[in-house]
Structure 1
Amino acid sequence: MLICPLCNAPLTDEDKSVKCVNYHTFDKAKQGYLNLLPVQHKNSRAPGDNLEMVLARREFLSAGHYAPLAERFATLVQQQHPANWLDVGCGEGYYTQKIAEALPQSQGYALDISRDAVKQACKLNKHLHWLVASMARIPIADQQSDLIATIFSPFNWQEAMRILNKQGGILRLGPTKEHLIELREMLYDEVRPYQDDKHLLQLPSELTLNFTDYLSFKLTLTEVKDRKNLLAMTPHGWRASAEKRQKVIENDLTVTVSVRYDYFKFI
Structure 2
Amino acid sequence: MNIIPFQALACPLDGAPLRRDGATWRCAAGHSFDIASQGYINLLPVQQKRSRDPGDSKEMVAARRRFLNAGFYQPIAAAVSRAALADLRPGATASCLDAGSGEGYYLRQLAAAATESRQSLAVLGLDISKWAVLSAAKQDKRPSWVVGSNANLPVLPGSLDRVLCMFGFPVYAEFARVLKPAGLLLQVDAGPDHLRELREIIYPALKPERSAEPRPPAGFVSLSTESVSYSADIVGAEQIADLLAMTPHLYRATAEGRARAAALTALTVTVDVRLTRFGRG
Give the structure-2-normalised TM-score: 0.90
How far has the Cα of 1:220 moved from its partner? 1.7
Q: Which runs of 4+ in 1 moved over 6 A?
A: none
Q: Distance in 2 between matches of 1:194 and 1:153?
A: 19
Alignment-derived partner of residue 40 in structure 2 = 33
Which runs of 5 or more structure 1 residues have no equivalent in the other structure? none
- What's the counterpart of residue 68 of structure 1? 75
Letter of the 2:26 counterpart: K
Equivalence for 1:154: 169
Give the letter aligned to residue 88 of structure 1.
Answer: A
Is structure 2 residue 227 aligned with structure 1 residue 214?
Answer: yes
Q: Structure 2: which amino acid aligns with 1:121? A: A
Q: 1:8: Cα distance to partner?
A: 1.0
Seen in structure 2, the aligned counterparts of structure 1 residues 209 and 110 have a Cα distance that, compared at 3 Å, is same
Separation of aligned partners in 1, 2:55 and 2:210: 25
Residues 196 and 11 of structure 1: is their aligned pair in 2 closer, same or farther, counting only changes over 3 Å? farther
How many residue pairs are counted as aligned between the two chains? 265
Find the counterpart in structure 2 of residue 103 from structure 1: 114
One-letter code aligned to 1:15: G
RMSD: 1.5
1:144 paired with 2:159, answer yes
Q: Distance in 2 between matches of 1:196 and 1:42?
A: 36
For the residue of structure 2 that corresponds to 1:122, the secondary structure is: helix
Change (3 A) 1:196 1:116: farther
Within the candidate set 166, 170, 175, 2:181 is matched to 166
> In the TM superposition, what is the alpha-carbon distance from 1:102 to its structure 2 partner?
1.8
Q: For residues 192-231 of structure 1, what are the structure 2 equivalents within 5 Å? A: 192-195=207-210, 200-201=214-215, 203-204=217-218, 206-231=219-244
**d(CA) in 2 for partners of 1:44 and 1:131?**
18
In structure 2, C-alpha distance between the alignment counterparts of 1:245 and 1:219, rounded to whole Å:
20
Question: Secondary structure of 2:215's partner?
Answer: helix
- Read off the aligned partner of 1:36 and give its amino acid letter: L
Q: Could you tell me how far apart the structure 2 residues matched to 1:203 and 1:193 are?
A: 23
In the alignment, does 2:107 pair up with 1:92? no
Consecutive unaligned residues of structure 2, counting only runs of 5 or more, are: 1-7
Q: Deviations over 1:235-262 (max 9, x none)?
A: 1122223332232232321111100110
Q: Do the aligned partners of residues 197 and 8 (structure 1) sit closer, same or farther apart at CA in structure 2, a change above 3 Å counting?
A: farther
Deviation track 1:140-185 (CA, whole Å, cap 9, x = no partner) reads 1111111101101010000000000101111111111110111111
Question: 49, 61, 64: which one pairs with 1:54?
Answer: 61
Q: 1:41 to 1:128 in 2, by over 3 A?
A: same
- Asked whether the equivalents of residues 84 and 108 of structure 1 are also in contact (C-alpha less than 8 Å), the reply is yes
Shift of 1:197: 6.3
CA distance in 1, matches of 2:273, 2:67: 17
CA contact (8 A) 1:177 1:193 kept: no
Distance in 1, Cα, partners of 2:212 & 2:234: 28
Taking the aligned partners of 2:29 and 2:114, their CA distance within structure 1 comes to 34
Distance 1:119 1:195 in 2: 37
Q: 1:195 to 1:100 in 2, by over 3 A?
A: farther
**Offset of residue 80 of structure 1:** 3.4
Say which is worse superposed, 11-20 or 238-247, in terms of deviation.
238-247
CA contact (8 A) 1:176 1:195 kept: no
Paired with 2:121 and 2:274, the residues of 1 have a C-alpha distance of: 25
The 1:97/1:223 distance shift into structure 2, 3 A limit, reads same
